[in-house]
Structures are given as C-alpha cells and as structure tokens.
Amino acid sequence: MLNTSVSDTLTGFSVYYLGLFDVQEGYPSRNGTFYILPSFLGVNLLTFLFAQFDRYLAVCYPFFYNRFIARSVVIGTCAFCWIYTYTILIVQNMVPISKAAQINAFGVMTLQIIVLVKVLMTIKLYVIARNHLVREPPSADGDSKKESLRIIVFVVICFLALWCPSFVNIIVRQLTRGGLRFRNEATNPFAIMARLNALVTPALYVWGSPSLRGAVRSTVWRRICPCRPR
C-alpha cells in the first residue's frame, strides 16, 4: 500500500509540472523530463503485479506464504520495483536516440503485457477467493486476507477504468496512423483521467481497510485537527 501510494502521490505532483510547462515526452521531446515522471507509472504497475502474486500465494499456498514471505521479502520487492524501473531509464537516457526509442517501445509493450496479466490475475484471484475463503472457518487471518483481496480487486478495477482509454489510444497510434493526438500531456483528457488514479488509489485503501483508516485517523488527522479536551 505504501509503495503504490508514494508512486501515485508523485504521479499526482507531476501533473503540476506538466501543466506549468509545455511538456511532450517522446523522441524528439519538448520540455521533457527524460521519462522520469512517466516512470512512476511503471513502479505502480510492478507493485500492483507483485501485490496480486502476494495475495495469490497467501490464499492458495498459506504454509509457503507464512514461511517464506517475510517483511524483508516485501521490502526487497518494493525496492526492486524502483531500482528496476529507473535502471532501465538510466540506460535509456545514455544510449543513442535510435536505441532509446527502441527501449521505449519495448517498455510500452511490456507495460501492456503487465496490464493484461493484472486483469487475468484479478479474475483468477476472484475465483479463488470465492471457492476457498468461503470454506475457511472464521478467523482474524481469514478476514485479513479477504480484506486485502477486496482492496486489490477494487484498486485494479479503478486503475483499468482510468487508464484503459489512454492505453487504447497509445495502441491505436502505434499500430495505425489514427488515434487522438494532443499538444501536450496537460491538454490530454486521457492523461488527466489516468492522473486521477493518484487520488483514487489512496482513497480506496483508506476506505477498504479499517486498520489503515484508524491509523490515518490517529496519526494524521488528529495532528491536523486535534480534538479539544472536554
């Protein structure tokens, strides 16, 4: 949750940069950010992908999950999402433009594959949850799994609803000469919809997790608006 919230928040802040400057990423670019800002999406997608595999292992292989998936593994996976994404970005910015364009095209294709895998994993997790979790006896651990799975499913559905128009437009532009083109990212309604995901994801986490909602209320909201002692 923290990893996706951080990447989404940074993506949201990037909207201000895109709006203030006439930014158009690409080859050639105009006032571009060397793909630093768009790469937050890659971090977000990788995190979601690993989160879905995490829930899959927790539901289908609980003994393996409890034995091997420790906090250090989760932290290492989150760090890998950032290191991998920006290592590719560093290489992309160091090679000639022709090679950089090829790497970028490969990255877009990989992004679309990850989105497809996310959809398939969401469907599979839903089927598994319906067939397995219902048969488990009531317990705190089972409730936690159901809560986490429900949040992941809602987040992925909202992600697809907000990002699919942009993905479809990109695919059409790559495969044909059609598609919609805009002057910059700030005037692109599909990009604006996608940036709304930066607000939707943290809101869904807070809405769907009572424990997170209580933590936010006790550690953040009370410091902003402290209650007066009666």
Q: Decide if 222 is inside a domain.
A: no
Q: What whole-number distance in Å separates Cα of residue 10 and Cα of residue 167?
A: 20
Q: Decide if 185 is inside a domain.
A: yes
Residue 118 has pLDDT above 80, yes or no: no
Contact 138, 68 (CB under 8 A): no
Instruction: For residues 114-123, give the mean pLDDT.
Output: 78
Residue 74 sits in which domain range? 1-208
Q: Decide if 155 is inside a domain.
A: yes
Indicate the number of domains in the chain.
1
Alpha carbon 115 to its chain's center: 10
Q: Decide if 8 is inside a domain.
A: yes
Residue 27 has pLDDT above 70, yes or no: no
Q: Decide if 168 is inside a domain.
A: yes
Q: Decide if 229 is inside a domain.
A: no
How far, CA to CA in Å, does 118 sit from each of 30, 47, 219, 222?
32, 11, 32, 36
Q: What whole-number distance in Å separates Cα of residue 205 and Cα of residue 152?
A: 9
**Residue 135, domain CATH:** 1.20.1070.10
Query: Which pLDDT tens digit goes with each residue over 51-104?
Result: 878 877 877 787 888 888 888 888 898 899 899 888 988 888 888 888 887 787
The beta-strand segments (E) located in the chain are none
Q: What whole-number distance in Å separates Cα of residue 143 and Cα of residue 183?
A: 48
Q: Any residues with CB less than 8 A from the CB of 92 and at least 6 apart, and which?
A: 35, 100, 103, 104, 107
Q: Any residues with CB less than 8 A from the CB of 115 and at least 6 apart, and which?
A: 45, 160, 163, 167
pLDDT tier for residue 220 given thresholds of 50, 70 and 90: low
Q: Decide if 217 is inside a domain.
A: no
Secondary structure letter of residue 28 according to DSSP: S
Q: What whole-number distance in Å separates Cα of residue 15 and Cα of residue 194?
A: 11
Cβ atoms within 10 Å of 198's Cβ, excluding its own: 22
pLDDT tier for residue 229 given thresholds of 50, 70 and 90: very low
Instruction: For residues 129-146, give the mean pLDDT.
Output: 66
Q: Decide if 220 is inside a domain.
A: no
